[in-house]
Amino acid sequence: MSTPEVATGQPKSARPLSILMRGSTQLGLLLILIVMWIFFSSLSAGFLSRFNLNSLFRSVAVDVVVGFAQMVVLATGGMNLSVGAIGVCTVMVSGYLLQVIGLPLPIAIILTLAAGGALGWLNGFAIARTGVNSFVVTLASASLFSGGMLILTKGVPLNGLPPALGLFGRTSFGPVPALVFVALAIGALLYFLFTHTTFGRQILAVGASARAAEMSGIAVSRVIIRVHVLSGVLAACAGLMLTARLAAAMPSVAGDDWLLPSFLAPVIGGTALSGGMVSVVGTVLGALLVATIRSGLLVLQIGGFWLQLFLGIFLLGAILLERYRAALALRQQTRHA
């Protein structure tokens, strides 16, 4: 499955170069992952143990969907700093619906996804109506959402969830948890969205040039609102997956450490910070790299502060590489103008 590449705003002669560079990014990520796995497994046999691989893949599944939640907003040239906060809210919403109200699991899942979409709609509506940068709006809403939820729940976890939810979170097919297949299914849907739907092309067009998109008849404000709704739904998916993984709704752990990985996975994978370019496959590989580093350092009993250092280095490197790509694409565009 190839990665969707934006064509909007690029001359045809520049597209092969862009596609080649995105492909080389994914190949480079794959090689780094192989080196990382060889390195960690050579230092500790426990890295390749069934228990550690199962734990790693369950973590990857959540990280992938968190990365998708950020990726769809980055595609428009914006960002969503409230991904983790929406995750916190939806974790507790799902727990409340299942334990306190006692709704059936399918209905609770649908309502939880709707709650995530509603919070995303608030972000998109505020950005579209006020014209304020998404950084400012989502930074404020992150505090609003998470603070409001902690006040309402008093930070008390809900542990009396239906056994079926926890059972699904623990289910594995060999070393591969069921949660991984959920993440891959979501990735396949997003790939289809960006490559075969009008809405997907509109998202990429807005990211490439909002002004040009508006002049071509695209309702930019409507696209931004819908993208944030989609981001909220994806964050809710990640929240539900985390709830299933822990078999409990715990506000103290849900979403707190999602912000940095939410940017790392798509940006390392080739999604442009400036918008107009996404990489679904690259986001999956980026999330796997983040989870591999986290798991490897844990197995080697290295302090968590080293993880933040490595993740910061990777993010900075990805940003510099993205800037280099943008400069190279501009140079090619100028040459063929």
- Supply the DSSP string of 218-258, one letter for each residue: --HHHHHHHHHHHHHHHHHHHHHHHHHHHTSB-TTTSSTT-
Strand-pair partners of 262: none
Comparison of pLDDT for 317 and 88, the residue scoring more: 88
* 282: Cβ contacts below 8 Å, ≥ 6 apart: 3, 22, 25, 26, 29, 266, 268, 269, 270, 271
**Nearest C-alpha neighbor of 38 from the set 296, 303, 238:** 296
pLDDT at 13: 39
Q: Are 216 and 67 in contact (CB under 8 A)?
A: no
Lowest-pLDDT range of 90-104, 254-268, 272-286: 254-268
Q: Which of 220, 198, 199 is nearest to 209 (CA)?
A: 220
pLDDT band at 336, cuts 50/70/90?
low
Q: Which CATH class is domain 12-335?
A: mainly alpha
Per-residue pLDDT, averaged over 87-112, amounts to: 95
Q: What is the mean pLDDT of residues 154-179?
A: 90
Residue type for 223, please?
V
What pLDDT score does 254 carry? 57
How much is the pLDDT for 107?
97
pLDDT band of 253, cuts 50, 70, 90: low
Average pLDDT, the chain: 86
pTM attached to this predicted model: 0.89
272/256: higher pLDDT = 272
Q: Which residue has the higher pLDDT, 105 or 32?
A: 105
CA dihedral for 15, 31, 262, 121, sign (positive or negative): positive
